[in-house]
Amino acid sequence: MIGVFDSGYGGLTILDSIRHELPEYDFLYLGDNARAPYGTRSFEVIYQYTLQAVQYLLRSGCRLVILACNTASAKALRTIQQHDICPETHRVLGVIRPTVEAVPAVTKNGHIGILATPGTVSSGSYVLELEKVFADVNKMQNFGTLHISQQACTLWVPLIESGEYLSEGSDWFVEKYLRELLRQDPQIDTILLACTHYPLLLPKIRQSLTRIRQENGNGRLPELVAQGDIVARSLRDYLSRHPEIENSCSKGGSCRFLTTESADKFAASASVFLQSPLFRESPLAAEHIEL
Ligand code: DGL
């Protein structure tokens, strides 16, 4: 089984793409919905919560766990990889590195905006990884100087977890953070949705960006980079390079869902995040767990 973890529903946007790309594998999803959002919590708390979830997935038979959560990837991944798991038998992967590796092919001017939770922004992980990746690209392409701007979108995850993200009131908060990002650097041509919840806001983000651009003389809209397909392709590549892990992942095409919240509440909300026809085959059932 491949374990997929997020603080709540956001990781389902990653699971959706992974399952589409790799339908033959068995998946176990764990959403810590009862304790979401993680994005405003301290390093220690995010690390402890993430470790508990990873250990649960490993105990449940997963040899490989994907942290489908940028906040957990930024704050807990490295410590867990270095101190808490045995790499001979188990692997834990994050979503930041694959996302960052996709950026050089997208930006034309090196002006990059990052939309993320306060925890991901304060970790500086995206800035660090982008600088590393572009340092390599620069050697090859002489790309030029990199301009990275980060914007914490504190209320986006709570709006999504509460189901309020489609309400008119949420428009105001979507636009607020986009304006703040573009105020930092009006030349941004590439925006990373560096939180797995944010693809749910894509239609509103596009509308807001169009409005903002119209006010400023109709410039080109920035490219929006969502993570699902990027992470899915990167996982396929990882499995092909690591046959010892790949061989231990069972292949029955199943998918189970665990949540720390009420199972019925999870099942009712989760389907919004899952677009792949694979998830239409049977009604979604979830299981409540305690971490
Ligand atoms: N989906 C998580 C992420 O990618 C949201 C974190 C949170 O719970 O605030 O960062």
269-289 pLDDT, tens digit per residue, is 887 788 777 676 667 889 999
**Confidence at residue 143, expressed as pLDDT on a 0 to 100 scale:** 67
Using a pLDDT cut of 90, give the percent of the chain over it. Answer: 82
**Confidence at residue 279, expressed as pLDDT on a 0 to 100 scale:** 73
For 235, the 3-state DSSP assignment is helix
Lining residues, ligand 1, CB within 6 Å: 6-8, 10, 36-39, 69-71, 117, 120, 157, 195-197
Say whether 69 is catalytic.
yes
Ligand 1 atom closest to the Cα of residue 195 is 4
- DSSP string across 64-93: EEEE--HHHHHHTHHHIIIIIS-TTT-EEE
When comparing pLDDT for 234 and 215, which is higher? Answer: 234
98-225: CATH topology: Rossmann fold (3.40.50)
**Confidence at residue 168, expressed as pLDDT on a 0 to 100 scale:** 87
Of the candidates 241, 200, 256, 247, the one whose C-alpha atom is nearest the C-alpha of residue 19 is 256
Q: Are 282 and 24 in contact (CB under 8 A)?
A: no
Give the integer Cα–Cα distance in Å for 120 and 55.
Answer: 22
The whole-number average pLDDT for the span 193-221 is 91
**Confidence at residue 284, expressed as pLDDT on a 0 to 100 scale:** 81
Mean of the per-residue pLDDT values of the chain:
93
State in Å: Cα 205 to ligand 1 middle: 17
pTM of the shown model: 0.93
**Confidence at residue 101, expressed as pLDDT on a 0 to 100 scale:** 96
Give the integer Cα–Cα distance in Å for 121 and 225.
Answer: 17
86-112 pLDDT, tens digit per residue, is 988 999 999 999 999 999 999 999 999
Q: What single DSSP character describes residue 276? A: S
State in Å: Cα 117 to ligand 1 middle: 6
**Confidence at residue 41, expressed as pLDDT on a 0 to 100 scale:** 94
Whether 225 has a pLDDT exceeding 80, the answer reads: yes
Q: How far is CA 43 from CA 67, 151, 162, 167, in A?
A: 16, 19, 24, 31
**Confidence at residue 202, expressed as pLDDT on a 0 to 100 scale:** 95
Say whether 195 is catalytic.
yes
pLDDT tier, 144 (very low <50, low <70, confident <90, very high otherwise): confident
Whether 218 has a pLDDT exceeding 80, the answer reads: no
State in Å: Cα 142 to ligand 1 middle: 34
Residues of the chain with CATH 3.40.50.1860: 2-94+228-288, 98-225
The whole-number average pLDDT for the span 260-271 is 90
Helical ranges in the chain per DSSP H: 11-21, 43-59, 70-75, 77-79, 96-102, 118-123, 125-141, 156-161, 168-184, 202-215, 228-241, 243-246, 263-270
Using a pLDDT cut of 70, give the percent of the chain over it. Answer: 96
**Confidence at residue 271, expressed as pLDDT on a 0 to 100 scale:** 79
Q: Are 117 and 39 in contact (CB under 8 A)?
A: yes
Smallest CA separation from ligand 1 atom 2, residue: 69
**Confidence at residue 158, expressed as pLDDT on a 0 to 100 scale:** 92
Tokens of 146: 């990199």
The whole-number average pLDDT for the span 117-141 is 89
CATH number for the domain running over 2-94+228-288? 3.40.50.1860
The strands making up 223-225's β-sheet, listed across from edge to edge, are 147-152, 111-116, 190-193, 223-225
Task: Using the structure block, give the residue that is written with the tokens 């809209």.
Answer: 221
6-55 pLDDT, tens digit per residue, is 999 999 999 999 999 999 999 999 999 999 999 999 999 999 999 999 99
- Please report, as a single letter, which amino acid is at residue 108: K
Q: Are 5 and 71 in contact (CB under 8 A)?
A: no
**Confidence at residue 287, expressed as pLDDT on a 0 to 100 scale:** 96
Q: Are 277 and 271 in contact (CB under 8 A)?
A: no
Whether 175 has a pLDDT exceeding 80, the answer reads: yes
Give phi and psi for 187, each to the nearest 5: -90, 5
Classify strands 147-152 and 27-31 as parallel, antiparallel or unpaired.
Answer: unpaired
Give the integer Cα–Cα distance in Å for 201 and 159.
Answer: 10
